Structure 1
Amino acid sequence: MHIWVDADACPRVIRDILYRAAERCGVALTLVANQSLNTPPSRWIRSIRVGAGFDQADAEIVRRVSTGDLVITADIPLAAEAIAKGAEVLDPRGERYTKHNIGERLNMRDFMETLRSSGVQTGGPAALDARDRQAFANALDTLLSRAARAG
């Protein structure tokens, strides 16, 4: 398993959880962003800087992801593409996207985008709180444990 992170919008606290998990489990972790990222020195952790532009990091992740990898993203279209390639997908709040729920998430995203484009103020997501961080850490541990048992 390789963990790919859509790092442009990934909260620092979630990246810190991922750094600790990569070290603890000996799992390769790659953060992909269109800006330079400081990562801790580790044989397991690296970052890739892509060019500026809309969805460049997403395209790089899709190009590199393989069956059995894990993608960390809140980007629903990226999640759908990663799932189509056989990857597991987890958002920074601990929600797991699967082939069974991604269609519904895409439809909701499109609906909300239609509302926003017609002038409706939909607001953004709530700030990440301690419960979200714990949910993410628990979901990550579950996926890593399952991968370790399978591998």
Structure 2
Amino acid sequence: MTLYIDADACPVKDEAIRVAERHETEVKLVCDGGLRRPQSPWAQLVIVPEGADAADNWIAEHIRPGDICVTSDIPLADRCLKAGALAIDHKGKAFDADNIGAVLATRNLMSDLRSAGAMEGGGGRPYSQRDRSAFLNGLEILFRKVKR
């Protein structure tokens, strides 16, 4: 099993690495640069060329059944699921065959509404300690699921 982290804007890299260390699992932090090499012997920094979806494409090409991906990118989560892997976002929401279709549809609708100018204003609420705790719990559940 390998834990892949879509690392460019991920707020829970350190937390994910700690969970992976506890489970003695290799971690690949995938980004297009700008991150320091992690101090963990379990973690490797993978730098991909700059460009739209370069990190997503690298993860999708390397992820295998039984692996886990941490990403907030819904299309990447879908690609990981189709490869037989598991996926979770930084707030602890696990993606699966039962919810990915609805999540993708909502994402596409919101993107269309923003493009059409129908939505204004800022993003979501700030990332909280509750979100961090939900992520840690959700990731732990996925690790246990894979190990069964």
Which category of TM-score, normalised to the shorter sequence, fits these structures? over 0.9
Question: Residue 75 and residue 55 in structure 1: after superposition, are their counterparts in 2 closer, same or farther (change >3 A)?
Answer: same
Deviation at 1:122, TM superposition (A): 5.5
1:135 corresponds in structure 2 to: 134
Q: C-alpha separation between the residues in 2 aligned to 1:20 and 1:89?
A: 17
Deviation at 1:59, TM superposition (A): 0.2
Letter of the 2:6 counterpart: D
Deviations 1:91-133 (A, max 9, x none): 0000000011001011001100111011121632221101100
Letter of the 1:9 counterpart: A
Deviation at 1:146, TM superposition (A): 2.7
Contact 1:112–1:122 under 8 Å retained in 2? no
In the alignment, structure 1 segments of 5+ residues that lack a partner are: none
The count of residues paired between Structure 1 and Structure 2 equals 147
Question: Residue 122 and residue 113 in structure 1: after superposition, are their counterparts in 2 closer, same or farther (change >3 A)?
Answer: farther
Higher mean alpha-carbon deviation, 89-98 vs 117-126, is at 117-126
Please give the TM-score of this superposition, normalised by the length of structure 2.
Answer: 0.94
**Moved >3 Å (runs of 4+):** none
1:47 corresponds in structure 2 to: 45
The answer to whether 1:107 aligns with 2:105 is yes
1:22-41 alignment, distance < 5 Å: 22-41=20-39
1:6 corresponds in structure 2 to: 6
Q: C-alpha separation between the residues in 1 aligned to 2:126 and 2:90?
A: 11
Q: C-alpha separation between the residues in 2 aligned to 1:36 and 1:123?
A: 25
Per the alignment, in what secondary structure is the counterpart of residue 147 of structure 1? helix
Q: C-alpha separation between the residues in 2 aligned to 1:85 and 1:147?
A: 14
Q: C-alpha separation between the residues in 1 aligned to 2:102 and 2:85?
A: 18
Please give the TM-score of this superposition, normalised by the length of structure 1.
Answer: 0.92
Please provide the CA RMSD for this pair: 1.2
1:145 corresponds in structure 2 to: 144
Contact 1:88–1:97 under 8 Å retained in 2? yes
Per the alignment, in what secondary structure is the counterpart of residue 4 of structure 2? strand
